[in-house]
A and B are shown apart, each in its own frame.
Chain A
């Protein structure tokens, strides 16, 4: 299929009105509702949202695993409906599960994957050796996938997704179920990959810090819709201000101070949400002191993506993520934590704090 030169220089992914409706228990469930999105070549974009927001369903449509109910998308220059084979040849995909077969050896799987993508034998072997080295899999290359740790399995998944040097890599919940150390290690590899090859990366996550630290652009998804799309700093600035707390000697003082500078008082503490709160803080303290209201303690916290999500939806993503993380296939690999109770909280979600 001839490729549009404009697409080639600009967009790696464009989707218009992408919709997926599932039929469950006699009812239509709209998992993804008219999603429009575009990702430029070389970008690292995160899809952030609670479990069940429709992130994976969107990715499964973009990777040709699911046919959309409506809408259209072009991925790596190929139409997902008319040329799924073209999409498959050009993208790498790391799903939520374990890509490597459990009884397969790591190196064997990489060789098989090369053959799946039509690579020659010698090229495959060289490429597999390079990936084993760069993803630090040398120690386990001749071991069966089932004997690997969660972090090692995930690195194998990424190696499998990269064997054919794809222009675009999809990572669906790459670090769910990993301990904090393995997660940090995985991020390093993703960042290195990005720096060395310029591969476009599209990842989904329900971890706030993952989207914040890793992605250049964050699309917030909720109930099947993209509800915000910008860089993390811009989202925070536009949708959530700094949070400043001022503590006073009495509730009366706090109430009087709240009336002067804005904000809400609860007990002896006033909480103010404002842009550039760090710069306003000294002025507030001075102004209040001038009218005899003495600030005893003050805190300042810059906004997080959770504040953004809260501002957009009225719900906290941190709690949502923890509540539904048990539906993830990878959670079983997470070490049992103390909060594994009625909430089915996973360790990973608590780490997101």
Chain B
């Protein structure tokens, strides 16, 4: 029986970047094993595109291509909102089953547990965003490739922030998943409507426009519209990038703090 503790039997200490990479790889594996799951969660945005889009064409009286040019960037942001907004549910589930506890006993940086997860959410987001845009092309959507690339980067930054906020909510709700979903549902639709994602807010009352002006989502939506049209001179791009960066910074800060306190 070996009872002495040799140095080799003790795992090496790990750095933050390495821990984050380890968490990212673990979280991404189910996506690689089952890529169809990424497509499957596209159903909701596609329903909006397919069922809400035609109504929009009819109401605005414009042509299909022109309406898509306005509507598709909004759907792109919706993909981020629905996808990363609910990602905390995965963590919530792992907190209840015990696999999150296992990672808390591992010699991993607590911050890496959050950041690795949040970065993973970028993968389905980029794939789904690309699929939505490419799917709209046959219907007359004009694709600006550099605009799409930058647009996806902005979206990814925003998604990391929103995902982190979702994880923060999950950590705060712990054993009460009903509370997670209540807060999630309460915020989701107001944020969506007050972003001008589905309908322009120009015709809405003044209070709605004020509410939209404090909704980071509305800046991101405006920026995506300019970017996907290839209009790089539009100042709203800067506003959207800033809103995404602020969401990301706030989300990560709150999320890392919540994870450090996690039991």
Binds B, one of A100-108, A178-186, A201-209, A288-296: A100-108
Contact of B97 among A76, A97, A105, A167 (CB under 8 A): A97
Instruction: List B37-65 residues whose CB lies under 8 Å from chain A.
Output: none
Task: Name the contact of B33 in the complex, choosing from A66, A90, A108 (C-beta under 8 A).
Answer: A108
B18: A residues at CB distance < 8 A: 118
Residue A160 CB within 8 A of the other chain: yes
A65's partner among B12, B23, B33, B263 (CB-CB below 8 A) is B263
From A41, A89, A95, A105, B10 is in contact (CB under 8 Å) with A89
Interface residue A243 (Cβ < 8 Å from any Cβ of B): no
Q: Does B1 contact A (CB under 8 A)?
A: yes
Select B11's contact among A65, A108, A157, A164, beta carbons within 8 Å.
A164
A76 to B4, CA, bound (A): 11
B107 at the interface (CB under 8 A from A): yes
Q: Which residues of A contact B104 (CB under 8 A)?
A: 65
Q: Give the segment of B24-32, B235-243, B252-260 that binds chain A.
A: B24-32
Query: Does the CB pair A101–B11 fall under 8 Å?
Result: no
Q: How far is the CA of A183 from the CA of B124 in the complex (A)?
A: 40
Q: Which residues of B contact A197 (CB under 8 A)?
A: 2
**Is A93 close to B, CB under 8 A?**
yes
With A93-B102, A95-B102, A167-B9 already in contact, the answer to whether A112 and B26 are too (CB < 8 A) is: yes
The answer to whether A100 and B99 have CB atoms under 8 Å apart is: yes
Contact string against A for B residues 102-122, beta-carbon threshold 8 Å, 1 for contact and 0 otherwise:
111111100000000000000
**Interface residue? B5 (CB, 8 A):** yes
**Distance (Å) between the CB of A235 and the closest chain B CB?**
25
Instruction: Indicate the size class of the contact surface on chain A.
Output: 35 or more
The answer to whether A115 and B97 touch across the interface, beta carbons within 8 angstroms, is: no
A90: shortest Cβ distance to chain B, in Å? 6
Which of B9, B21, B25, B29 lies in contact with A165, CB distance below 8 A? B9
CA distance A52 to B244 in the complex (A): 47
B213 close to A (CB within 8 Å)? no
Please give the distance in Å from A111's CB to the nearest CB on chain B. 8
Q: How far is the CB of B29 from chain A (nearest CB, A)?
A: 5
Q: How far is the CA of A90 from the CA of B13 in the complex (A)?
A: 11
Counting chain B CB atoms within 10 Å of each CB, which of A3, A113, A118 scores highest?
Answer: A118
Complex CA distance for A101 and B97, rounded to whole angstroms: 8
Tell me how far the C-beta of A4 lies from the nearest C-beta in chain B, rounded to whole angstroms. Answer: 12
Contact between B14 and A118 (Cβ–Cβ < 8 Å)?
yes
Q: Is there an interface contact between A88 and B93, defined as CB atoms closer than 8 Å? A: no
Distance in Å: Cβ of A108 to nearest Cβ of chain B: 5
Q: Is the CB of A99 within 8 A of B102?
A: yes
Q: Does B11 lie within 8 Å of A118, measured CB to CB?
A: yes
Q: Choose among B13, B29, B99 the residue that contacts A98 (Cβ–Cβ < 8 A).
A: B99
Q: What is the interface of chain A mostly: helix, strand, loop, or mixed?
A: loop
Across the interface, do B106 and A97 meet the contact criterion of CB distance under 8 Å? no
Contacts of B10 in A (CB 8 A): 89-90
Closest Cβ of chain A: how far from B173's Cβ, in Å?
A: 17
Is residue B186 contacting chain A, with contact meaning CB distance below 8 A? no
Chain B: number of interface residues, binned into ranges: 35 or more
User: Which of A9, A95, A118, A198 is within 8 Å of B101, CB to CB?
Assistant: A95
The verdict on A85 contacting B13 (CB below 8 Å), with A8-B5, A99-B98 known, is: yes
Q: In this assembly, does B22 line the interface, its C-beta being within 8 Å of a C-beta of chain A?
A: yes
A321 to chain B, nearest CB (A): 21
Residues from chain A with a CB closer than 8 A to the CB of B234 are none
CA distance A167 to B13 in the complex (A): 16
B94: CB under 8 A from chain A?
A: yes
B interface secondary structure, majority = helix
Is the pair B98, A88 in contact by a Cβ cutoff of 8 Å?
A: no
Give the distance in Å from the alpha carbon of A197 to the alpha carbon of B1 in the complex.
7
Q: Given A97-B98, A101-B99, A108-B33, does the pair A115, B105 have CB atoms closer than 8 Å?
A: no
**Bound Cα distance from A100 to B97, whole angstroms:** 9
B2 — which chain A residues lie within 8 A by C-beta? 197-198
**A102 and B97 in contact, given A90-B10, A118-B14 (Cβ under 8 angstroms):** yes
Task: Check A116 against B107 for contact (C-beta < 8 Å).
Answer: yes
- Chain B residues whose C-beta falls within 8 Å of the C-beta of A89 in the assembled complex: 10-11, 13, 107
Q: Note all chain A residues with C-beta closer than 8 A to B96.
A: 97, 329
Please determine whether A105 and B33 come into contact, CB atoms closer than 8 angstroms: yes
Of all chain A residues, the one with the shortest Cβ separation from B93 is: A102
Nearest CB in chain A to that of B95: its residue:
A97
Instruction: Knowing A115-B26, A118-B18, say if A93 contacts B105 (CB, 8 Å).
Output: yes
CB distance from B171 to the nearest CB of A (A): 15
Residue with the highest number of chain A CB atoms closer than 10 Å, among B5, B98, B103, B105: B105
A112 lies within 8 A of B4 (CB): no
Q: Specify which chain B residues have a CB less than 8 angstroms from the CB of A76 in the assembled complex.
A: 5
Query: Is the beta-carbon distance between A117 and B101 smaller than 8 angstroms?
Result: no
Shortest Cβ-Cβ A-B pairs, 9 listed? A97-B98, A198-B1, A112-B26, A115-B22, A117-B11, A99-B102, A116-B106, A118-B12, A88-B107
Which residues of chain A have a CB within 8 Å of any CB of chain B? 3, 8-9, 41-42, 63-66, 76-77, 85, 88-91, 93, 95-105, 108-109, 112-113, 115-119, 157, 160, 164-165, 167, 197-198, 329
Q: Which residues of B contact A (CB under 8 A)?
A: 1-5, 9-14, 18-19, 21-23, 25-26, 29-30, 33-34, 93-94, 96-99, 101-108, 263
20 residue pairs bridging A and B, Cβ less than 8 Å apart? A8-B5, A9-B3, A42-B3, A65-B104, A65-B105, A66-B263, A76-B5, A90-B5, A93-B102, A95-B105, A101-B30, A102-B93, A104-B30, A108-B26, A112-B25, A113-B102, A115-B21, A116-B23, A117-B11, A118-B13
* 14 further A-B pairs in the complex, CB-CB below 8 A; given A101-B26, A116-B22: A8-B5, A65-B104, A90-B5, A90-B10, A97-B99, A98-B98, A99-B102, A102-B99, A103-B34, A112-B25, A112-B29, A116-B14, A197-B2, A198-B1
